[in-house]
Amino acid sequence: MKSLKSYLFLSLLLFSFAGKSQLTFDKTTLDFGELNNDSPKFMDVKITNLGAKRAFILNYKADREVACLFNTQAAEKDSILIFRVHPNPKKLGKFNYQITIYTSDRLDPTILTVKGNLKEEIYDPLAKMQACPDFRSTPSIHATDFKLTIKTIDKNTKQNLANTVVYLLQNGQQIGQFIQGKDGKIQVNTPLGFIYFYATLQGYKPTEKCQYVNIVDNTVTLELVRDSTLKITKEEVALVEEQPQKELEEVLKEEPITIQESYTPPTLENIPLDQFNTNDFHSINVLFIVDISSSMGIGNRMELMKYSLLELTNLLRKEDKIGFVSYATNAQVLLPPTSGTSRTEIRTVIQKLKAGGMTAGGEGIKLGCKTISKELIKGKNILYIITDGAFNKDSKNYMESIEKYKEMGIIICVIGIQNSENDAKNMKKIAELGGGTYTSIQKLADAKIALIQEIRNQTYRKN
């Protein structure tokens, strides 16, 4: 209270000396509209000093869910200061906040209204709402097409690696393929956001990394480790630049995948991986219960899940059905069981998946069981839980749901995305209870093949 009285006293004192000093706000209402992960996260208010003398922002009061920042507290004659506003609504839906700003040129404060409608939980390292973005940023920070520097080096020697092939993926799809120059560095135009990098060079083990990039964090370094099992001659190294570069799909098929525990019939191994005909495989009604909690946004997990699901989408037939239930703080049906030929609709659902919130895994399982039970087919009815680990919210009684729906012929399987050993044990118990299998996805080569292999194993007619 004392501090507020002091500011008001200072305001009166400065006002008496300010003469015709006048601070003019270019707007007093900041409407963020429908706020989601692709929206600008802050707005700037321009405050112009039209008076004859210097004027000041003395103090401001704002809700806890609004962060503010000004580039300077004093505005000289004919100058402009910037007041930056960054809302941090905690709940989905409409929000309306007020900011009270005290300035040196008037007794009454200026009131800013901040409003909008939060459509989805925000997951964006730039949008950590506890602090307002500094003035290196601009409201157009979400724009695409900026220069990204990609460096490739030997992890041990730190020497630059020329001729490394780098593949870029975003939202589960490849967005670029580049060859490093002699200095092991290249600059390319990329969109902002999480990008998955996969690098390969003859004589080295492939490396992969997911990183958030923008116009400020615009450099990524990929470290490759020599493959001690390979002996590359100088002549072979010299020929690397001349050899035609392989497509990412071809490279991933050549890389060994994480050892899977599910059984693959010997006769199935003779059927090419891209074949899924009705003579050899049952039709499938598959519903994915996808974990989109905050932990799935860490590292490579979300990109690995999207890439794996998109690869499976290419394999589905008109006889097949696929659906999605997501869970984070709450569970919801994203897509009820839909024909496998509706690929555009299916891909759109997958690519819109974004991480944020808690992990209501039990709620997700129960909703998934109810959803698939309404669309049972004569072929295989399978629930796949895709998660990075254990559940931590509303997880009671889901075991009863698994046992109940198992009796209806619904198989429950688990796809572990970079599970720890302890979480993998828990996920295996759920799969065992549901009469299904546990499949591990640890890297991009797994995401390319493992889920498709698992679906083929489950639907193979000679099982």
Q: pLDDT digit of tens for each residue in the chain (463 aa)? A: 445 555 544 554 444 444 455 889 999 999 998 887 667 778 889 898 888 888 888 888 998 889 888 877 888 887 888 888 989 888 889 999 999 999 888 888 999 999 999 887 665 444 443 455 554 444 443 444 578 999 999 999 999 999 999 999 999 999 999 999 889 999 998 887 889 999 999 889 999 999 888 777 889 999 999 988 766 555 555 555 555 578 998 899 888 888 777 667 778 888 998 899 999 999 999 999 999 988 888 778 999 999 999 999 999 999 999 999 998 878 899 999 999 999 999 999 999 998 877 777 888 888 999 999 998 999 899 999 999 886 655 555 677 788 888 888 899 999 999 988 888 888 898 899 999 999 999 999 999 999 999 999 999 987 6
Q: Is residue 420 part of a domain?
A: yes
The encoded tokens of residue 191 equal 């969109």
Domain count, the chain: 3
Q: How far apart are CA 65 and CA 42, in angstroms?
A: 13
Same domain, 162 and 109: no
Same domain, 302 and 384: yes
Same domain, 231 and 269: no
CATH code: domain of residue 155: 2.60.40.1120
Q: Is residue 384 part of a domain?
A: yes
Same domain, 246 and 264: no
* H-run or E-run covering 370: helix 361-373
Q: Is residue 137 part of a domain?
A: no
CATH code: domain of residue 310: 3.40.50.410
- Quick: pLDDT tens for 10-25: 554 444 444 455 889 9
438-441 contacts, C-beta under 8 A, 24 or more apart: 438/261, 438/262, 438/413, 438/414, 439/260, 439/262, 439/413, 439/414, 439/415, 440/258, 440/260, 440/416, 441/258, 441/304, 441/305, 441/308, 441/415, 441/416, 441/417
Q: Is residue 132 part of a domain?
A: no
Which of 188, 223, 250 is the last residue in one of the domains?
250
Which of 201, 221, 250 is the last residue in one of the domains?
250
Whole-prediction pTM: 0.69
| Domain of residue 205, residue span | 146-250
Q: How many residues does the chain have?
A: 463
Q: Is residue 222 part of a domain?
A: yes
Q: Please answer whether residues 437 and 262 qualify as being in contact, where contact means their C-beta atoms are separated by less than 8 angstroms.
A: yes
* H-run or E-run covering 444: helix 444-459
Q: Please answer whether residues 149 and 185 qualify as being in contact, where contact means their C-beta atoms are separated by less than 8 angstroms.
A: yes
Local structure of 333: helix, strand or coil: strand
Same domain, 330 and 443: yes
